[in-house]
Amino acid sequence: MAATGTPAAARDALVERLFEGVLGMTDVYTVYMGDRLGIYDALANGKSSEAEIAAATNTDRRYLREWLEQQAVTGLIEVDDASKPAHERRYRLPDGYAEVLVDRDDPGYMAAFARMMAGLVRPLPRVLEAFRTGEGIPYADFDADFLEGQGDMNRVQFINSLASEWIPGLPDVHERLQSGGRIADVACGTGWSTIALARAYPHAEVHGLDLDEASTELARANAAQEGMEIPFEVRDAADPRLSGRYDLVTCFEAVHDMARPVESLRGMRSLLAESGVLLIADERVAEQFTAPGDEVERVMYGFSLFHCLAVGLEEQPSAATGTAMRPDTLREYAEGAGFTRFEVLPIENDFWRFYRLEG
């Protein structure tokens, strides 16, 4: 909400908000350290002393001690007796925290979010320069932290909700795919959506398509680790060799990043078989611009400033959509691409809105 009261009260409230932001930033980046260094895994596996954790993670004890103390001070881990000498203290994850920090299958898993945020801000000097020049930033300039972090955050949704909620929200498509059919997962990223689709519909032929080489390599590695053979290809959805083949085309959290969304949607439309359906999931922003906005709107604009708008502007000409793509904007793009049916699906999700496109 907007500040109210005297100017001094407004000033003090903003100071408090930004200081809380600094504390939150510290939590995010120290969680990133614990995730990448494997310290949370060691704690979850029963390692508790400085020496045990250092041996398990191959980390320097003095650096590790500072991290352990910081985490105990901020309340992210517990210490048995703070008055003991440092080398005698024992640490543990509070009950319930392993689900958030270690268990990548749990719906509450958040360590990957910290990884994504670390990668999100790494090109920040280039973003500042882009503000001055109007140029974009290639998606490939966002490194493994961003790719893997975003992929693993979305993975939580895919493994928990895709087969149980999202595709059953298209009951005719769900029934058809149970006995076979073809699926194209466009902008599949690190492949977890494709893997979830292939697992949910073992009789269907599932293809993963993405234009980013690094993401495609991660997708192939992820599928291999899961013991699945899925064709992942660096290919444009408009490739004429794919046209008219698929009962379902999916595109998760990607249309707002596309420089020419009408052209891209036209390519996806060309992939559909005669009775095929395009399922799009994109950000659940407000239906119209409103300020101040809620927490979802705030985080989506943050993503847009750090990443999505710059990525969308890298290729010219560009629609310059940004993360806050509202339903009417997507409807306009869909109609421009030739779709005759545009439906917002009644699928509950805190961050994504789901659309069915046909025709």
Is the distance from CB of 30 to CB of 74 less than 8 angstroms? yes
- The confidence band for 238, taking pLDDT boundaries of 50, 70 and 90, is confident
**Mean pLDDT (the chain, rounded):** 96
Q: What is the pTM of this model?
A: 0.93
Is the distance from CB of 246 to CB of 273 less than 8 angstroms? yes
What's the whole-number mean pLDDT along residues 332-338? 98
In this predicted model, what pLDDT tens digit does every residue of 171-189 receive, in sequence order?
999 999 999 999 999 999 9
- pLDDT at position 244 is 84
- pLDDT at position 241 is 79
- Measured in residues, the chain has a length of 359
Domain 155-302+312-358 belongs to what architecture?
3-Layer(aba) Sandwich (3.40)
Hey, do 7-99 and 155-302+312-358 end up sharing a CATH topology, with the first three levels equal? no
- The confidence band for 243, taking pLDDT boundaries of 50, 70 and 90, is confident
Domain regions of the chain by residue span: 7-99, 155-302+312-358
What's the whole-number mean pLDDT along residues 87-111? 97
- pLDDT at position 4 is 65
- Give ∠ CA 97-103-108 in degrees, rounded to 5: 65
Q: Which of 161, 202, 156 is nearest to 183 (CA)?
A: 202
What's the whole-number mean pLDDT along residues 337-359? 97
What's the whole-number mean pLDDT along residues 41-64? 98
- Give ∠ CA 68-72-73 in degrees, rounded to 5: 115
CATH topology of domain 7-99: Arc Repressor Mutant, subunit A (1.10.10)
H helices of 37-60, where?
Answer: 39-44, 50-57
- The confidence band for 3, taking pLDDT boundaries of 50, 70 and 90, is low
